[in-house]
Structures are given as C-alpha cells and as structure tokens.
Amino acid sequence: MIRIRVSVGTAKVLGLKKLKMDVPLHTAYFLIGERCVYDCAYCSRASSASSSPELLSRVLWPSYDFRDVIERLQNVDCFKRLCVQVVNTPNYMDDLSCVLKSLCSFAIPVSVSVRPSSMEEVRKIFDLGIERMGIGFDVASPRLFSVYRGGDYRRSLELILKVASEYPGRVTTHLIVGLGESDEEILRLVSIFSSAFVTVALFAFTPVRGTKLEHLPPPPLERYRRIQMLSYAIEKGILTFEDLEFDDRGRLREIPEMNFCEDKAFLTRGCPDCTRPYYNEKPQCVPYNIFSEGGVN
C-alpha cells in the first residue's frame, strides 16, 4: 500500500498530528516520492541533497498510510483544493496515478505540482482528472538556470507556454526570488507568463540545510515586496514590463506610481485558495507571503 507525505499543517487539520496553528489552510497539501532524479541546488529533495527526508523547503511532511489519509479526508469539509507535490522519482507516474484516482473522486479541485519532461506526460496527468498543473520554472536568470536547476532555459519556457496554450487558464508556474537573478530578468518572465495566462506563484529563496545553496541568504524583504508589487501590477494590467526602467545591471531604477491595494499584492499567489503557510519563513518573522487579506502589518 502506498504511503504518502502530508504537510504538517494538513496533518493537523486531518487529526493526524497535534499542532498549534493559527493560519488559514484552505488547501490540503500532499507529497509523493522521496529522492528526486533531478538535482536542483536549492531543493531538499535533490538527488545530491542530504536534507532531512521529512523536509520540503521549511515544511515538515510526515508520512502516513494513504488509506488513513483518505479516510480522514472524507470526514472534513474545510478544504477547497487538494494539491499533490510530486518528487520526480523514476516511477512517479505509477504512484501519482494511484493517488489521483482517489483524490479526484472528491468534489474538490485537484492541483498537481510536477516537473514534466514532455507534453505526453502533461496530457497523461491532466487525463487523470486534475483541474490545474503547477510547473516550477524557479530560476528566472538564463545565466543561472542550468547551474541551479539543470536543463535548458529556453526549452523549459517553451514547454510551459505550450501547456498553457493547450490547457488555457489551468497552469501555474513558480519563480524564486533571491537566486541571483536581476529585477529585469524576473519581471520579464512574469510578463511573458502573464501574457500566456499562466499564474505566477512567487517564492522567496529559503536556504535549507543539506542543499547546495544552504549558505545563500534569503532575499531582503524589501526587494521581495517590490517584486510582489510589480508582478501583481503586471498580472492585473496596471502596468506593462515596458513601463519599467532598469540600470545596466538589471536593477529597477524606481517603482512607477500605481493605484491599487498593496495588501493584495503581498498575498500568497498560485492556484486558487493556496496559502502555503510558513513555506518560506519562520513563524516569528514577518512572512514573505501573507496568508490572508488584512494580514499585512
């Protein structure tokens, strides 16, 4: 029988773990697979990482019998979305198919976050009944993409855009702020994805022990807020990438004058109802991604 990892917050809601938690959790997060075939320099699941097997970013993911998880899930009604994080093991499709057969039987939208290598894989996963797919791009800099993530920058971008064309409005991608990219590089990508109706989920780089980048510091909150505001404005059509000015190092010269509620720009973005509490930050710190409106101090 399959065992599945469950985010510690989800495990608390399902009654599988005792935990004090005071943030909203409208999405249930699950994880399948252990050690990845890829070797992303920032990921605790990378092939060369020596991080704890219970970690993905800062979040703990205890393991449970999948039958127990499904039984608990049948007895709660607070979740608006189910999200499956996939570690790309050699046989991941077999486990994912089994998991989705059960999860897609609930009357709740299901998202899958995965690194597909082809449109054939993408179509197989969508055919299993999911509502959205998250495909991480992560590294915004063409200079650093192959170094930190591996693979080809252009080919990876083309795949996401092709998926978005075939499955319009059903694709999310992830960009990590703080991996050495310039403001110009990351905001250009936000513009490209937004034009293709790909939802951009922003993450702050989080150093995790046992990864190749464990000693790289997280980005300053001020820079992250700036990227949040401008990416939100681009996505909402408040400004365009062409409205922005950068210096010869790709740094933003100034923030254009804009008129919108900043709190909305700082909310966690991604698939609908995603909050990812404490994925990037320590509970005692100001969160990079705000969990709910009104949560910005």
- Largest Cα–Cα distance of the chain, in whole Å? 57
- Which residues of the chain fall below pLDDT 50? 294-297
What pLDDT does residue 295 have? Answer: 47
Residue 224 placed within a domain? yes
Structure-token pair, residue 169: 């409005």
Tokens of 104: 């897609």
Residue 189 burial by Cβ neighbours in a 10 Å radius (0-12, 13-18, 19+) = buried
Q: What is the pLDDT of residue 11?
A: 87
Report if residue 154 sits inside a domain: yes
Look at residue 297 in the predicted model and tell me its pLDDT: 42
| Interhelix angle 183-195/153-166, nearest 10 degrees | 30
Give residue-wise pLDDT tens across range 252-294.
Answer: 998 888 776 667 888 888 889 888 767 777 766 788 887 765 4
Give the global pTM. Answer: 0.92
Tell which residue, 251, 126, 107, 135, has the closest CA to residue 187: 251
If one counts the domains in the chain, the total is 1
The reply to whether 272 falls in a domain is no
Q: Does 169 reside within a domain?
A: yes
The Cα 84–Cα 50 span in angstroms is 23
Tokens representing residue 80 in the block: 């608006």
Asked if the structure places residue 278 within a domain, the reply is no
Range of the domain at 170: 3-266
> Beta 81-86 vs 171-177: how paired, if at all?
unpaired
292 inside domain: no
Provide the pLDDT for residue 296: 44
Write down the pLDDT at residue 141.
98
The string of pLDDT tens digits covering residues 51-67 is: 877 767 767 888 999 99
Per the domain annotation, does 78 fall within a domain?
A: yes
Burial 92-106 (b: 16+ CB within 10 A, else e): bbebbebbbebbbee
C-alpha torsion 290→193→196→32, nearest 10? -70
**Is there a domain that residue 279 lies in?**
no
pLDDT of residue 22: 67
Q: What is the CATH number of the domain that holds 150?
A: 3.20.20.70
